[in-house]
Amino acid sequence: MIGFFPLLHSFYFLFYYLTIFCIFLLLVVLQLGAHAVEGVWPLPQKLLSSRERYTLEPRTLYFVYGRESSAQEGCSVLDAAFKRYFSLIFPEYTAGRIVPFSENKSFIVEVTVGHSDCDGYPKEDSPEKYKLNITDGQAFLNAETVWGYFVNKTYIKDFPRFQFRGLMLDTSRHYLPLRTIFKTLDAMAYNKFNVFHWHIVDDPSFPFQSLAFPDLSRKGAFHPMTHIYTQSDVRKVISYARMRGIRVLPEFDSPGHTKSWGQGQPDLLTPCYTGNTPTGSVGPVNPALPSTYKFMWALLKEVTSVFPDSYIHLGGDEVNFSCWKSNPDIRTFMQKMGFGTDFAKLEGFYIENIVNITSALNKTSIVWQEVFDNHIQVSNLSLSVVEVWKAGCYLCKVRKVTKARLRVILAAPWYLDQPHNWAHYYNVWPLAFKGTEEQKKLVIGGEACMWGEYVDASNLAPRLWPRASATAERLWSDENQTNSLDKAFPRLNEFRCRLLRRGIQAEPLSVGHCKYEYEGI
Give the β-pairing of 149-158 and 130-135: antiparallel
What 3-state class would DSSP assign to 100?
coil
d(CA 217, CA 199): 15
d(CA 269, CA 320): 13
Rounded to 5°, the CA angle 241-58-98 comes to 110
Q: Are 475 and 160 in contact (CB under 8 A)?
A: yes
Half-sphere exposure of 388 (CA within 13 A, CB side): 25
Indicate the residue type of 520: G
Q: Are 261 and 206 in contact (CB under 8 A)?
A: yes
Count helices and strands in the chain by DSSP H and E runs = 18, 16
Q: Which residues fall within 8 angstroms of residue 511, CB to CB, at 6 or more apart?
A: none
Whether the bond between 278 and the residue before it is cis, its omega within 30 degrees of 0, is no
What is residue 413's DSSP assignment?
A: G
Sign of CA dihedral 392, 396, 401, 402: positive
Give the sheet arrangement for strand 61-65, strand by strand.
Answer: 46-56, 149-158, 130-135, 25-30, 107-113, 61-65
Nearest to 268 by CA among 244, 287, 248: 287
**CB-CB neighbours of 377 under 10 Å:** 11
- Active-site pick, 68, 92, 103, 318: 318
Nearest to 159 by CA among 25, 63, 34: 25
For residue 335, count CB atoms less than 10 angstroms from its CB and return exposed for 0-12, middle for 13-18, buried for 19 or more.
exposed
Q: Which residues fall within 8 angstroms of residue 387, CB to CB, at 6 or more apart?
A: 313, 366, 367, 368, 369, 408, 409, 410, 411, 447
| 387 a catalytic residue | no
Active-site positions read 318
